Amino acid sequence: MTLSRRTFALASAACLLGRRAATAAAPDPALTSRYHALATEPFPVPAIDLSRIKPEFLRREVEDATHEAAGTIVVDPVHHFLYLVQPGGKAIRYGVGVGRFGFAWSGEAKVNSKQTWPDWYPPKEMLERQPHLARAMRKLRSGIGMPGGSGNPLGARALYLWQDNRDTLFRIHGTVEPWTIGTNASSGCIRMINQDVMDLYERVEPGARVVVLGSPGGYLASTRGGDGLPPLNQIVRDPAGLAGRGLW
């Protein structure tokens, strides 16, 4: 079969576009290399199936649009991003999963403490609603709960958020469901890919300020007046009551 000049040109253009499309679709190794399996932890951290996570939710350095002080954590639930503000006008951006309808919250808090492979203490109301969870519970130092480990819903790391010397019951933590990053799937807590929450854990110290935005337009559309964002206890008036809904 002979090709006309026009046919050859069209075929060449199609091949070129195909190569360009393949190149555009190829994941950036600088981003994907951060999500390999880790065997140096007390429990295995499996590699992440990145085909189930949109590329924009992979950890990267970006220009800081928050105008917050370095060291501040800013969560934009609308766009499912968590920013750790860096010096020099930069921020590290992570993808997160946030509270589903009825469990969302906004306001300010501080990182009171942080833990590796944290235990999980679901409230008794949750155990009553989901009795199958009882099989994984043990008597631990702080009550009946699930020991830290690969199957624990809090994942490899957790940052505990407090306000006015009181536990808000909200956490920033890892997850055993990394495919939920970029969605509204949690019961109020901010969930991250395990490899990402491990990175955040190393960069953040207790006392760090946490801002969770409430504007429907996300951070760039929100404005902070002289009084700042509303405190968490104005948004969640009875944090203890939310424990019955199974926050994680």
Tens digit of pLDDT for each residue in 5-57?
443 343 344 434 344 433 344 568 878 889 999 999 999 999 999 999 999 99
pLDDT value for 106: 75
The count of residues in the chain is: 248
- Tens of pLDDT along 83-120? 999 999 999 999 999 875 544 567 899 999 999 999 98
For the chain, give every domain's residue range: 29-245
Find, among 108, 82, 90, the residue nearest to 168 by Cα. Answer: 108
- Tens of pLDDT along 132-180? 888 888 899 888 899 999 899 999 999 999 999 999 888 999 999 999 9
What's the DSSP call for residue 199?
A: H
pLDDT value for 217: 40
Query: CATH topology for 29-245?
Result: L,D-transpeptidase catalytic domain-like (2.40.440)
Q: Exposed, middle or buried: residue 94 (CB in 10 Å: 0-12, 13-18, 19+)?
A: buried
- Tens of pLDDT along 187-210? 668 999 999 999 999 999 999 999
Higher pLDDT, 208 or 122: 208
Indicate the pTM of the whole model.
0.76
Find, among 219, 164, 189, 210, the residue nearest to 105 by Cα. Answer: 189
Instruction: Read off φ and ψ for residue 159, nearest 5 degrees.
Output: -110, 125
Averaged pLDDT score across all residues of the chain: 78
